[in-house]
Structure 1
Amino acid sequence: MRRIVLAIGFAVLTAVGASAVQPDEVLPNPALEQRARAISGGLRCLVCQNQSIDDSDAPLARDLRLLVRERLVAGDSDKAVVDFVVARYGDFVLLRPPFNTRTALLWAAPFAILLFAFFFVWRLARRRLVPAVEPVRLSAEEEAKLAALVAPEDSASK
């Protein structure tokens, strides 16, 4: 049983590092291939949306991987390749989008949600900490007046 658990654990650990890059995509120049992997690791698969194009099996991701490699072979710098892809697909294609006026809401939303949650919990805690209001006791004079008002109804209903 222990061997089975170890085998499954090993299989899971080795699968995490798996890449979707096909052998026919790999560049013969190791330096260019390393640059291509670094660039494609930072580009989002537009189909999967939570994977880089390096990890995605989607046909669009393959096309983007090939495009990155073509641009590198053509002599473009890493920045030029990323700028080319961003010009085509927008900042959404970046796994780490830059902070600018178009992405400010994207960057600020988690902090705003967290701030709202803290405010909500604080208000809820404050509401529970406020002691309950004690009922006001009537004075002896007020109790006598109340008894006089209620007494005629009781005698009339009998």
Structure 2
Amino acid sequence: GDTDRQVLDYIVSRYGEFVLLKPRLSEKTYILWGAPIALFVVGGLALVVYARRRAGKPTGKPLSDEEEARLAELLNPPDS
């Protein structure tokens, strides 16, 4: 004979706000509600930091002496 509100209040008092599909916004649930937003922001910042660090690093290996000579030959052709 209890109302829906009374049943919800009993369950919340016994097990806490975390058992509800949509927990009420209160001082106790700020972390619960803010966690997805905080994780999204932290993930975005991690991606930005990773991309900036990766952009500054050279890829590949240094040219050999033969490759450097060939590159210089291609970039500076002899005058005709």
For Structure 1 versus Structure 2, the TM-score category normalised by the shorter chain is 0.5 to 0.7
Match of 1:82 in 2: 8
Matched, 1:93 2:22: no
Alignment of 1:1-158 (within 5 A): 74=1, 76-130=2-56
Percent of matched pairs sharing the same residue: 40
What corresponds to 2:75 in structure 1?
none
Structure 2 counterpart of 1:126, one-letter code: R
The two structures have a TM-score, normalised by structure 1, of: 0.33
1:108 maps to a residue whose letter is G
Q: CA deviation at 1:77?
A: 2.1
State the Cα distance separating 1:131 from its structure 2 match.
6.7
TM-score (norm 2): 0.58
Displacement, 1:114? Answer: 1.4
Return closer, same or farther for 1:131/1:82 CA change in 2, 3 Å cut-off.
closer
- For structure 2, which runs of at least 5 residues remain unmatched after alignment? 59-80
Question: Which amino acid in structure 1 is aligned with residue 46 of structure 2?
Answer: F
CA distance in 2, matches of 1:78, 1:87: 14
Change (3 A) 1:131 1:94: closer
Cα deviation for residue 107 of structure 1 reads 1.3
Stretches of 4+ moved more than 4 A in 1?
Answer: none
Residue 129 of structure 1: CA displacement?
Answer: 2.4
Superimposed CA distance per residue, residues 51-91 of structure 1 (whole angstroms, 9 cap, x where no aligned partner): xxxxxxxxxxxxxxxxxxxxxxx2x3211221122122221
**Higher relative contact order, chain-length normalized (CA < 8 Å, sep 6+):** 1
Structure 1 residues 93, 131: CA separation in 2 closer, same or farther (over 3 Å shift)? closer
Higher Rg: 1
